[in-house]
Chain A
């Protein structure tokens, strides 16, 4: 009786509710060598080198000018990208580049699967770097797992301390480097250590240090699986013609361990009834997201191809053909399973549309940038008073004139008035006599703002308002632009 009761209690405690939350599964990716790994290292080094070092690259723009090659100068509203200098009006370039990036990502994904996820995504790059450090300090998969399971020893503690210290140092450098894209790198570095940098700089450095440390050190594949939206909708770019990392089940199955056949010489193995897969789990052990590629296409797979390298190694060791795990399309796999061969189709409606959209986008952007004016004029007519009647009956209108000098040299601009009979202008501060045109100096890479008064005859703007043109010419470059504004008066009906 007593035994029965205990059984029931145990049963209820054990089986009545399925798990609501999954316990964390630590992934211990094993080191691996091969072409995919080499490519991944190369992309990692390139990406990190660009990220960390680019702010330090100097660029000569002339004396007194910004000398950083890439600088997003938010306080002064200028983006410097090598020889390109973007003003706030050019923000469409940023939108264009982002759109092109998105379409480019779609194109690459529809052709070659999630190569972005596998190689170039910052989450992947920094996670890979952190995993490499982890393996250097705590040992490869087996050693690391053994020590983690074992008792808390001095050796375990100092390894953990060293690992986290290095992680934190890298995260700190990463956070600091991000700020350098927005400020002058050498100046900022000096100010940072002297405690003179802006509070925001410290806050953001700390923020990005923390996120790098947490995301690359701790969250890792959890980011890809649970946080990132991209795996969710990238499926719409993939089709059966997209290259993916895939296990050739038709060749590998049924999987099974080889047994030494005593009847045959030289330790040959019995393979009767078995496929090429020896079920060694090498592909699982190297996987940075901890999945089994042999289960087929799955959300967690970032297409990094490390399992390809791992499997090839085993195939060579067991004297079997390489590429049991390979890059292929679903259509290709289906055909191969049936003993056929289908060529890879580069040109599909999907890829043609993406490529077409990219071509058009690039053409538009390049044209827009190449024909970008170095001069800009904006004239705002005074709203109050709309016009002023003077003692002799003539009409005066006030304007705020903004002249953008996007060239790298200070220049004098000639502002002329067209369309107003016997019209004259003067600066509101009365620094010159009324004249038909004004000479206005504007500094290099700057906007000059001027209050300009325009005078018209008593009968000007007979309908209450007439169109006039302001014509602006850069006397150095000869570049010219015009702005159509209005001249207002009481009109014929008024007095």
Chain B
């Protein structure tokens, strides 16, 4: 306990009155305004705790008199943002898709919206940037099964492929093997022909005429006499470096014997919980069209 105020002989300053083995401590008081600032901070903290969420207890917390919630604030912000976007999205909805592309402002909005919608909905199958993978076509290359114009892409997204939708794109390649339309030797011959003439693995002196005959009779009606493909029925071009189900010869045999028939869902909004609205579908079409393969 300090008992009396002493003054240090050298500095003339007051001491705190504490003494340790003859050492004394000078009293250097902080300025009073510092104390007031400190008190003001405490008052601020108390007022803040009263007004804003502050103390957690169990599963809840004190809400504060202002009832402020950043969660609600974010929701409001999102709603405000959506209202702002709605102006453009409505315009995209009512504008023909070719004209959306010619309006720089709408194009920017559609591309941004399309990128996000693509990432959320399309990317799981078609890959980031529309890279594609075996069985799921690349959207960035120069090959389209059902057409690569804006209108074609919009149609495909809206109604899907073999999706069950009334206007879905669809065709069924016959199961030449499992339905016994072709025997094993014929399938082998046509595979040789496609592998040699279209896939670019021709072997000098190999006789492809048998396979060519099978092809002309069974395949050319859809895939074209020269393997150029047919978009009206979604028949992939065969004379191409791009092969939906893989580059190996076995994939030809497998596809002719028992074809895989890819399915893409219809994205049209039919209920409140599923699908994409028209403006978003248009946006995705515009985004996909710009990936590198748009026609």
A binding-site residues for B, Cβ under 8 Å: 15-24, 219, 222, 226, 382-386, 388-393, 396, 398, 428-430, 453, 458, 495
Contacts and interface: CB of A to CB of B under 8 A. Distances in A.
Q: In which size bucket is the chain B interface?
A: 35 or more
A495 B35 contact: no
A23 B35 CA distance: 11
22 contacts: A16-B1, A18-B2, A18-B14, A18-B15, A18-B17, A21-B29, A21-B31, A22-B29, A22-B31, A22-B32, A24-B31, A24-B33, A385-B138, A388-B138, A388-B141, A388-B292, A388-B293, A389-B241, A390-B241, A391-B143, A391-B240, A392-B241
Contacts of A20: 29-30, 35
Contacts of A222: 31, 33
B290 interface: yes
Nearest to A398: B292
Given A18-B16, A428-B292, 17 more contacts: A17-B2, A18-B5, A19-B14, A19-B29, A20-B29, A24-B31, A24-B32, A24-B33, A226-B30, A383-B129, A385-B127, A385-B132, A386-B131, A391-B240, A392-B241, A430-B294, A495-B248
Given A388-B141, A390-B242, A396-B292, A15 B5 contact: yes
B31 to A, nearest CB: 5
A219 B142 CA distance: 73
A15 B290 CA distance: 86
A384 B292 contact: no
Contacts of B33: 24, 219, 222
Contacts of A430: 294
A19 B27 contact: yes
Nearest to B33: A24
A241 B2 CA distance: 42
A428 B111 CA distance: 14
A388 B291 CA distance: 10
B108 interface: no
B81 to A, nearest CB: 19
Contacts of A17: 2
A445 to B, nearest CB: 21
B14 to A, nearest CB: 6
Contacts of A16: 1-3
B130 interface: yes
B241 A458 contact: yes
Contacts of A458: 241
Interface string B108-128: 000000000000000000011
Contacts of B32: 21-24
Interface in B178-194: none
Contacts of A453: 292
A429 B101 CA distance: 11
Interface in B112-164: 127-132, 138, 140-143
B247 interface: yes
Kindly list the 3 A-B residue pairs having the minimum CB-CB distance in the complex, ordered from nearest.
Answer: A385-B131, A384-B128, A393-B241
B247 to A, nearest CB: 4
B71 interface: no
Contacts of A388: 131, 138, 140-141, 292-293
A398 B291 CA distance: 9
B131 A391 contact: no
Nearest to A11: B4
B40 to A, nearest CB: 13
A241 B30 CA distance: 32
Contact of B131 (A384, A390, A495): A384
Contacts of A429: 290
Contacts of B138: 385, 388-389
B34 interface: yes
B108 to A, nearest CB: 12
Interface string B34-76: 1100000000000000000000000000000000000000000
A382 B129 contact: yes
Contacts of A19: 14, 27, 29
Most buried by B among A17, A23, A385, A386: A385
